[in-house]
Amino acid sequence: MAKMSVGIADNLLLSVIRAWDTTGLVDGDFKPERPRIFVAPAMNSAMWHQPVTRQNLSILRDQWGWSPANPEGWVTVLPPIEKSLACGDVGSGGMMDWRDIVRQIEEHLNLSKNQA
Ligand SMILES: *[C@@H]1O[C@H](CO)[C@@H](O)[C@H](O)[C@H]1NC(C)=O
Ligand SMILES: *[C@@H]1O[C@H](CO)[C@@H](O)[C@H](O)[C@H]1NC(C)=O
């Protein structure tokens, strides 16, 4: 999240994100909808509540985040949940349940069975 928010591209994933067509300038003619990046953070509770994480999150969610009020947005942050974390603590910072992540992506891609 921190690297994404400042545009660092030092691995394949971050390079793909850095090359994302955030304006539709490149892909606009043949993609009906701007592609979306789903971010599902997972970290220790202390990291999640760290002020710099809040700043990074604010970029992804409040500036780049898609919402009905910001249809130009290209990021969806799937907030972490409270659960038993890998470090042994119980607290917020656990990745959203993978089934819920799949459901959100299915809904975005109009693949969910609920939509006819
Ligand atoms: C995100 O976090 C990094 C440190 O991890 C910090 O250098 C950077 O300024 C933060 N980005 C924003 C936009 O606040
Ligand atoms: C999903 O369906 C809605 C409503 O028909 C449409 O506006 C949207 O572009 C579709 N999303 C994708 C990713 O095709």
User: Is the pLDDT at 116 greater than 70, yes or no?
Assistant: no
The CA angle 73-77-3, to the nearest 5 degrees, is: 90
Cβ–Cβ < 8 Å for 65, 76: yes
Ligand closest to Cα of 7 equals 1
Pocket of ligand 1 (CB under 6 A): 2, 5-6, 52, 55-56, 59
Per-residue pLDDT, 115: 55
Residue-wise pLDDT tens digits, 41-66: 999 889 999 999 999 999 999 999 99
Residue nearest atom 3 of ligand 1, based on CA coordinates: 2
C-alpha 56 – ligand 1 centre gap (Å): 6
- Identify the pLDDT of residue 79: 93
Residue, of 74 and 29, whose pLDDT is higher: 74
Please tell me the least confidently modeled range out of 3-17, 30-44, 68-82.
30-44
24 as an active site residue: the answer is no
**2-108: CATH architecture:** 3-Layer(aba) Sandwich (3.40)
Q: Does the beta carbon of 115 sit less than 6 angstroms from any atom of ligand 2?
A: no
Q: Which of 13, 19, 52, 87 is catalytic?
A: 87
Residue range 18-36: mean pLDDT, rounded: 84
For residue range 88-111, what is the model confidence (pLDDT) as tens digits?
A: 888 888 999 999 999 999 999 999
Residue 51: per-residue pLDDT: 97
Q: What is the domain partition of the chain in residue ranges?
A: 2-108
The CB of 110 under 6 Å from ligand 2? The reply is yes
Nearest residue CA, atom 5 of ligand 1? 2
What would the 3-class secondary structure string for 72-101 be? CCCEEECCCEEEECCCCCEEEEECCCHHHH
pLDDT of residue 114: 61
Q: Which are the contacts of 26, defined by CB distance < 8 A and separation ≥ 6?
A: none
The answer, yes or no, to whether residue 84 has pLDDT greater than 90, is no
